[in-house]
Amino acid sequence: MKIKIIIENTNLDFDFDEAFWQKRTEEVFLCTFDLVKEAEHLAKYQNLKFNFGLTFCTDAEIHGINKEYRNIDKPTDVITFALFFDDDIKTVIENTAELGDIIISTDTAKKQASENNLTPEQEITVLITHGILHLFGFDHMTEEDYNFVVDIQKKVFNKIFN
């Protein structure tokens, strides 16, 4: 499976190693896909190349995005704009699917890391997993769906950090 990830960092306060996050995001993507590839809506696409964006930003930036696109007037940890699996019309060009974008507030990730007894790297890895699950079309509107998402996040976390 081929993956192309466009990573952007708009948070100058975030100690950013693009090569590290590129490798980590690829690892999380492959691990997450492996755990959910049997899902009916995913299985038939496993031979595609997948492209998506990952942006690290500040609380102020994600607050503006959250307010504009979700009508929620506060910062959040991760916002995902899923394209491919959230649309009934799946466009594949040259065997490539554009999945969408994941936006992560490193400010919120740092706060949550402290609250969850994790390192910022670990917390951001959880948020990347969460975003990838949304890119794959998984949501958490019901308790059952929420439990599924959290279970996958835990499995990915354990594979990467243990």
Domain ranges in the chain are: 2-161
Residue pair 113/148 in contact by the 8 Å Cβ criterion: no
- pLDDT per residue over 60-79, tens digit each? 999 999 999 999 999 999 99
- Among residues 127, 73, 2, the alpha carbon closest in space to that of 119 is found at 127
Q: What is the mean pLDDT of the chain?
A: 94
Average of pLDDT values for 98-102? 96
Q: For position 16, what pLDDT does the model report?
A: 84
Alpha-carbon span 28 to 102, nearest angstrom? 13
- Which one-letter DSSP state was computed for residue 95? T
Express as a percent the part of the chain with pLDDT over 90: 80
Average of pLDDT values for 9-29? 91
Residue 14 — pLDDT band, cuts 50, 70, 90?
A: confident
Average of pLDDT values for 29-50? 91
Instruction: Spell out the residues 6+ positions from residue 124 whose beta carbon is closer than 8 angstroms to its own.
Output: 56, 104, 106, 109, 113
* CATH ID of 2-161, from 3.40.390.30, 3.40.50.1100, 1.20.1440.230, 3.40.1210.10: 3.40.390.30
Q: For position 70, what pLDDT does the model report?
A: 95
Model confidence, pTM: 0.94
